[in-house]
Amino acid sequence: MSENAPPPPRILSIAGSDSSGGAGIQADIKTITMLGGYAMTAITAVTAQNTCGVIGVEALSPQFVLDQVESCLSDIGADAIKIGMLGSPETATLLAERLDTFAGPIVFDPVMVATSGSILADEDTIASFAALMDIATVVTPNLPELGVLAGREAIADDEVFDAAAALASRFGVQVLAKGGHAGDETQVFDRIVSPTGKLASFAHARIQTRHTHGTGCTLSSALATMLGYRQPLVNAVRIARAFTYAAIENAPGFGEGSGPMGHQAVRKLEPPEEIPR
């Protein structure tokens, strides 16, 4: 780095480890690095998984997770934090207490189920998400996660805004409601909603592929990185979506199930063509 170049944004990812490298901490490190950030990690759980499913999960002790966080923040510091898989409700509680005074942006991806369909958070852990939404800058649920957080069994396309707005108002948080799980087979429609109303919406053509393992992890860590660069929220979301889209386009085709994305192949960001809504 030249003497005049600014240092890279310091991004701390608090999440689980994916042994197959497609999601979790591994996806976060790849994303943060490819976007020019400095990646640090606090691992909440270790999983044995591949593109077909999760074979096993070993949660780390809540105190040890906190020790990892403290080690990073007390020395190197962080410009933004991304929180993903938690491992236990106790971990969520300790993190919420420790990060309540963190001055930078916090992106919370409320991971409940892996792309393969495997459960990654039990009911008690999901109940503990409220403490983290209270301190988060942005929460990034997909539609099934939004339904759970908003207390609705299912959310129709015309109910997404109302559910996101209710969540945003309740916790004083920005909500990026991701539309990848919607029934539309031709496009993906995402919304950013603040406690005071809708900020922006994005729609692009859906990529027809099974290689989408780690999309939520990638988008949330890309968003944290852009916020670490002090990008305005809407622009940060736009760049994060472009990176995620490009990583899906460049998927290497590995695995028999929901394959990993091609983070390492993204050299130039070309935002997907927006579809007017």
**215 counts as catalytic:** yes
**30 counts as catalytic:** no
For residue 190, give the DSSP letter.
Answer: E
**178 counts as catalytic:** yes
Give me the sheet containing 38-50, strands edge to edge.
53-59, 38-50, 10-18, 80-83, 106-108, 138-139, 174-177, 187-194, 197-205
Q: Counting beta carbons within 10 angstroms of the beta carbon of residue 223, is it exposed (0 to 12), middle (13 to 18) or buried (19 or more)?
A: buried
**47 counts as catalytic:** no
For residue 267, give the DSSP letter.
Answer: -
125, 137, 140, 215: the active-site residue: 215
Tell me which residue of 201, 111, 205 sits closest to 157, measured CA to CA: 201
**H runs (alpha helix) in the chain:** 24-34, 62-75, 89-99, 123-127, 129-135, 143-149, 160-171, 215-228, 233-249
16, 214, 228, 262: the active-site residue: 214
24, 47, 91, 217: the active-site residue: 217
Sort strands 80-83 and 53-59 into parallel, antiparallel or unpaired.
Answer: unpaired
125, 212, 218, 244: the active-site residue: 212
For residue 157, give the DSSP letter.
Answer: G
30, 178, 218, 228: the active-site residue: 178
**Rounded to 5 degrees, what are φ and ψ at 273?**
-65, 125
179, 216, 259, 262: the active-site residue: 216
Active site residues: 178, 212, 214-217
